[in-house]
Amino acid sequence: MSTSNVRTTADLYDTYVLKNYGRAPITLARGRGAQVWDDEGRAYLDFTTGIAVNALGHCHPHWVAAVQRQAAELIHTSNLFRNANQGELARRLAGYAGPGRVFFCNSGTEANEALIKLSRLHGAKKAGGAEGKCHKIICAKNAFHGRTFGGMSATPQQKIQKGFAPLVPGFVFAELNNLQSFADLVDENTAAIFIETIQGESGVHACAPEFLRGLRELCDKHNLLLMLDEVQCGLGRTGKFYAYEHAGIRPDAIGMAKGLGGGMPMGAMWVAEPHAELFHAGSHGSTFGGTPLACAAGLAVLDVIEKENLLEKVTLQSAPWIASLKKLAADFPQKISEVRGQGYLVGVQMASDSAPVIAKLRELGLLVVGAGNNTVRFLPPLNVSEEELAKSVEIFRSAVE
């Protein structure tokens, strides 16, 4: 039989898939733990985890069993009805965040849209019910909040915004870790401060704990909501369930997604108790948000984080791993500028373009993600082994040598 009419995946992508990504030239076919295999059977250590999504690595047995069981029971109902899994997952997320309520959606940018809408409701309340007046949101320079209009308008990057004007009005941008720069932008029309606790896409830049504490005070003083985008840094990646916990503060609202479903597309907004009352029946919604299936996946992720003590494990194992990356950077000062990050959200900033390094790592069997500023981003699963962490450093060393 002739195979001439059998088209390769690469060919199908070239012909039919929208050209909005720069993709690595491999097709992934299967995964287990921190390993993936391509369609030619080549194995890779996967430190992309689908961009911080596969928190438990690939195909964790508890997650797979929970999803298979739920898929055979009830997958989707819409939010016209209650489902037990959504109630339970909301309870457990609020258990980490504090007294408040949870809204479920399907992605990070949607979680952020919910936060932006929350800030509008808060602003209108502040302005005595007048809409459109108190609507300003102060974000950080170099932020990334997603690709929908709200998220994109909060993302002051030419490469992301170009071609899509007019954007959503009301976003202004201050200098990360510069409290005065945020304070200077506050006026009577300001409703909220909205930032990533750790900027991921821009190259792994963390908010200093004292900066976060200063923002908390600033928000309290001016009746602004402190809204944190924990889409990438949350859900255990830094060794705390939410990354802001390191600063000992509590925000008014949190956006989460990526690791939440452990591979199932899902997002969520948590809102602190008094502000949660700003939403009422009809004021926001999502057809798919919080399905029994997605929430079963989310519950399975939390089960494993808790049963396998992953927060503690991330803290203990990441420290020597980051230290060995820093040692490597010290050995190659002309090639590596800086190692930044916490837990399993780590950026290694190269002295020049990181793309060739990322390609070289892939050839050597390690998958990592690019980020801003020539940064190579390492996002291992939360249950990665010490051996796999050591192997990533070894491979990285041979790529820069």
Residues in the site for ligand PLP, rule: CB under 6 A? 107-109, 112, 144-146, 196, 200-201, 229, 231-232, 257-258
Q: Which is nearer to ligand PLP, 112 or 324 (CB)?
A: 112
Annotated binding residue 343? no
DSSP state letters, 154-190: T---HHHHTT--S--S-EEEE-TT-HHHHHHH--TTE
Rg (CA), the chain: 21
At which residue do the structure tokens 């600033």 appear?
A: 218
At which residue do the structure tokens 């602190």 appear?
A: 272
- HSE at residue 69, side-chain half, CA atoms within 13 A, is 12
Q: Which is nearer to ligand PLP, 105 or 395 (CB)?
A: 105
Catalytic residue among 104, 194, 229, 279, which?
229
Annotated binding residue 232? yes
Closest contact distance (angstroms) between CB of 105 and ligand PLP is 9
Structure tokens at 372: 């801003």
Minimal CB distance residue for ligand PLP: 108
Annotated binding residue 173? no
Annotated binding residue 291? no
β-pair type (43-46, 35-38):
antiparallel
Catalytic residue among 144, 171, 378, 396, which?
144
Closest contact distance (angstroms) between CB of 154 and ligand PLP is 9
Residue 396 bears catalytic tag: no
**Residue type at position 376:** V
Annotated binding residue 337? no
Helix 355-363 with 386-400: angle, nearest 10 deg: 120
Closest contact distance (angstroms) between CB of 229 and ligand PLP is 5
Annotated binding residue 144? yes
* Residue 38, number of CB atoms within 10 A of its CB: 17
Q: How far apart are the C-alpha atoms of 77 and 274, rounded to whole Å?
A: 29
Would you say the C-alpha torsion 58, 289, 157, 119 has a positive or negative sign?
A: negative
Closest contact distance (angstroms) between CB of 230 and ligand PLP is 8
Q: Which is nearer to ligand PLP, 46 or 229 (CB)?
A: 229
- Residues for the chain: how many in total? 401
**Coil, helix or strand at residue 284:** coil
Q: Which is nearer to ligand PLP, 127 or 160 (CB)?
A: 160
Q: How far apart are the C-alpha atoms of 219 and 205, rounded to whole Å?
A: 22
Annotated binding residue 287? yes
- HSE at residue 171, side-chain half, CA atoms within 13 A, is 21
Closest contact distance (angstroms) between CB of 268 and ligand PLP is 11
Q: Which is nearer to ligand PLP, 144 or 242 (CB)?
A: 144
Annotated binding residue 108? yes
CB 268, CB 111: distance < 8 Å: yes
Closest contact distance (angstroms) between CB of 244 and ligand PLP is 13
**In 3-state terms, the chain is what percent helix, strand and coil (to 5)?**
40, 20, 40
Annotated binding residue 147? yes
Q: Which is nearer to ligand PLP, 229 or 252 (CB)?
A: 229
* Cβ-proximal residues to 56 (8 Å cutoff; 6+ apart), any chain: 62, 63, 262, 301, 304, 381, 382, 383
CB 138, CB 176: distance < 8 Å: no
Catalytic residue among 241, 258, 313, 396, which?
258
Residue 229 bears catalytic tag: yes
Q: Which is nearer to ligand PLP, 140 or 361 (CB)?
A: 140
Q: How far apart are the C-alpha atoms of 162 and 321, rounded to whole Å?
A: 38
* Residue 175, number of CB atoms within 10 A of its CB: 13
Residue 184 bears catalytic tag: no
Closest contact distance (angstroms) between CB of 260 and ligand PLP is 10
Binding region: 108-109, 144, 147, 229-232, 286-287
Binding region for N(2)-acetyl-L-ornithine: 147, 286
Binding region for pyridoxal 5'-phosphate: 108-109, 144, 229-232, 287
Kindly list the catalytic residues: 144, 229, 258
